[in-house]
Structure formats: structure tokens, C-alpha cells
Amino acid sequence: MDGIFLQQMINGLTLGAVYGLIAIGYTMVYGIIGMINFAHGEVYMISAYLAAISLAVLAYFGLESFPLLILGTLLFTICITGVYGWVIERVAYKPLRNSTRLAPLISAIGMSLVLQNYVQISQGARQQGVPTLLEGAFKLNIGEGFVQLTYTKVFILIAAFVGMALLTYVIQYTKLGRMCRATQQDRKMASILGINTDRVISYVFVIGAAMAALAGVLITMNYGTFDFYAGFIIGIKAFTAAVLGGIGSLPGAMLGGLILGVAEAQFSGMVNTDYKDVFSFSLLVLILIFRPQGLLGRPHVAKV
């Protein structure tokens, strides 16, 4: 294995881990109410702003140690972004729970425009940036070439996988997770059995937003720059990852993200950067032709 291939693998995995984190929000909401939350990309964008605000405030109070800084930022960003997720559900979805399927779709697109413009007006249209938090990198010599891996990327990989593991634990082994799964399987039956399904749906939006917030902090650390339009491209990519892995499936979202990230990186490296998106979407089409439910999705069974 040569250094270039390995470096592209690392590039792809860090990008893919972040796609996966955002894809979780799409897939969870779809799993539970059968809707695509088009405002989810904007939730990520808002979390990037919150992360920058929190970093600035903490630095102002003289906090300099990296672990404390990042812990404080994560806590702050996840909490506030969770509130955004909850409010989005309240405003754009709940009032339309029993209307036609298209209505909440349109209201989510509206929500996304509102959030974008709200950030543009309140924070300005300029590019924002944060200074580099973790400098330095590991350097591995492999044969002729070398692989360079910044500490930030290592942190991103670890944080993303810890986040995903934590979420898997919550969904599989806690009471909240059981409630979520029950609501996903049959909302009516779950509510007959005494589960407050409206509240579960709210929780799902909050969890999705929290994962997007984690991604927001990590991406802000890694690239250091964002603007009010940052949620658009990455939102579309994450949505693609969710569909690729099988929308509605949690491990599917993570796997879809990683596959998409690695596919993009390796294709740019070996063939051409201009057409990397063409390649990713062709891959999506191919997978959907042979597995319409996505890689790990369950086939849709028509209920009579």
C-alpha cells in the first residue's frame, strides 16, 4: 500500500465521518415520521456559528487548555443546537402532523430559508473563521512517500466514532431508545401502549440536531471557515450518504457517509477532481438500482 493511497483513505474517512454524523439527523427523522428534514443542513450551519461564538467567549475568559476549550464548546453548541432542533419540529412539523405528506416538506424548505436568512442578517454575510486550535501533525514515512495526519483529523475521527457509538448505545439499550424504536415501527401502536409519541418525535429532532452540532464543531475546527451558506452543499452530501446507506437505518447513515467520503477522495486522487461528484452520484444510482432500499435499509413493505 503506498503513501498516497493511505493518505487519500485518511482524507476520505475524516470527510466521511463528518458526512455520517450529519446523515444521522436525516435518517432518524425519516425513520420516525417518514419525512426528509430539509432544514437539517441549516442546523449544522448554525452549530458552526455557535461553536465559533463559544470559542471566542471561552477564549475571552482566558481559557487556554485545549480539552477544556473543546469540552465547553461541545457542551454549549450541542445544547443550543438541540434547542434549535426542538423548535424546528414545533414550528415546521408538529402543526402539520396530520396533513398531506407534501405540506411538512414545503414547510421544512421554508424553515431552511428562514434560518439561512436569519443567520445572514444577524451575523453578516462575510466569511467567518476561527483560529487554529490544535496545531501539529503526525508524519509517517512509507517507502518513498509519507502520510501526514494532523492532530485535528485524529481528534475528528475519534470524536465522530465516540459520538456514533454513544448514539448506538442510547438507541439500543436505553428506555428512550426503546421508545424511539417502538415509535418508528408503529406510531399508532406505540401511542396505544402509552408512549407519548409527540414527545419522542421531539427527542429525535433534538438528537439529530445534537449530532449535527458535533459535526459542526469538528468541521469548524478542521477547516476553520464557514458562512451562512455552508449548510447547503454538506447537507446535500449528507442526505446522499443517508440514502446510500439506507434511509431510516442508523448504521446505514454512518456507513453511507464513510463510503461517500472515501469514494470522493479516491476518485479525485486516481481519476479527476472535476468529476468526483458525478462519480459519487453515479455510485448512488448504481446502488439504488440493485438495492432500492439502500445498503442497510429494510425493504419497504406495503401495509394493506
Where does this chain bind another protein (CB under 8 A)? 4, 7-8, 11-12, 14-15, 120, 124-132, 135, 137, 139, 145-146, 148, 150, 152, 219, 223-227, 229-230, 232-233, 264-266, 268-269, 272-274, 276-277
Contact 23, 254 (CB under 8 A): yes
- Comparison of 81 and 128: residue with beta carbon closer to another protein: 128
- Comparison of 50 and 133: residue with beta carbon closer to another protein: 133
- Comparison of 75 and 271: residue with beta carbon closer to another protein: 271
Smallest gap from Cβ 264 to another protein, in A, equals 7
- Comparison of 107 and 280: residue with beta carbon closer to another protein: 280
Smallest gap from Cβ 299 to another protein, in A, equals 33
- The Cα 241–Cα 237 span in angstroms is 6
Smallest gap from Cβ 216 to another protein, in A, equals 12
CB atoms within 10 A of CB 300: 9
Smallest gap from Cβ 160 to another protein, in A, equals 14
- Comparison of 139 and 300: residue with beta carbon closer to another protein: 139
Smallest gap from Cβ 136 to another protein, in A, equals 10
